[in-house]
Amino acid sequence: MHVVNEQYYEDLKNNLVRGTLKVKTQEQAIPSTAVATARPGFVAVPVKIAEELPKEASQEEVALVKPVIDYVAQSKAMLIDSKRWILLGNKITKNVIKLTPFDVSKFRINTLVLSFGKNGKIQYDYESDPTIEFCAGIEFLDIDTDESSWVFDAENNLLTLIIKGGYASLDDFKFKREYKIEQRDDEYVLHKTKEYYFVDLKKQNQVSRKKSD
């Protein structure tokens, strides 16, 4: 008997994400090696079929993990290099980052437009509503694109960001974080799940200046 447990469905999900899972159809449900018993309507199914179930799943089992696969497909859509996203707010150091689709009607002063480029590159620029008069004192985020990158783990729907940047300076901070991606209508919300390191470069620079004094 094949015992279905949490690991079984985890393996099933991973095989679906990788595209290596075969789904059994009704025609495939009875293997060619099946041997009919003396009782009409019954077949003897070899034990090895149960062992192969994680690679050859039923329609019902696929239905259980399909929402996860759809979720990953939505996340991948966010990471297409031709897509451009507006960062809602400029505090990228917060634990939750919100991105909304590029639209000229959403421009304000120094609206940061972000895209996830090929080979893990992060690209950005600024757009502004031409009808709004500029004023002094607007805080804006600079990203050091040579020191910043992204990686997506499709099996776990995890986006890892390495960002070096600052506000009107490239020497404020550097962090490496994992985010779960959530889609809300047409917007995306990145929820921080893990932080490998966060370097406050401002404080480091302040300490080094004090030592030099």
Say if residue 92 is in the same domain as residue 192: yes
- Residue 73 maps to a domain: no
Say if residue 155 is in the same domain as residue 115: yes
Say if residue 38 is in the same domain as residue 136: no
Predicted local distance difference test score (pLDDT) of residue 6: 56
116: left (phi over 0), alpha (psi -120 to 50) or beta: beta
Predicted local distance difference test score (pLDDT) of residue 148: 97
DSSP codes joined into one string, 21-41? PEEPPTTTSS-TT-EE-SSTT
| CB distance 33 to 49 below 8 Å | no
Say if residue 144 is in the same domain as residue 207: yes
Tell me 1's DSSP state: -
- Residue 1 maps to a domain: no
Domain range for residue 139? 85-212
Task: Enumerate residues 6+ apart whose C-beta is below 8 A from 80.
Answer: 116
Per-residue pLDDT of the chain (213 residues; tens, 9 = 90+): 444 455 555 665 666 555 555 555 444 444 444 444 445 555 555 544 344 444 565 666 555 545 455 667 788 889 999 999 999 877 898 999 999 999 988 888 888 999 999 999 999 999 888 887 766 556 788 999 999 999 999 888 899 999 999 987 788 999 999 999 998 888 999 999 999 999 999 887 665 555 555
Structurally, how many domains does the chain consist of? 2
Q: Is 0.85 topped by the overall pTM? A: no
- Residue 202 maps to a domain: yes
Helix then strand count (H, E) for the chain reads 4, 13
- Residue 72 maps to a domain: no
Say if residue 192 is in the same domain as residue 90: yes
DSSP-H helix ranges across the chain: 6-18, 47-52, 59-78, 201-212
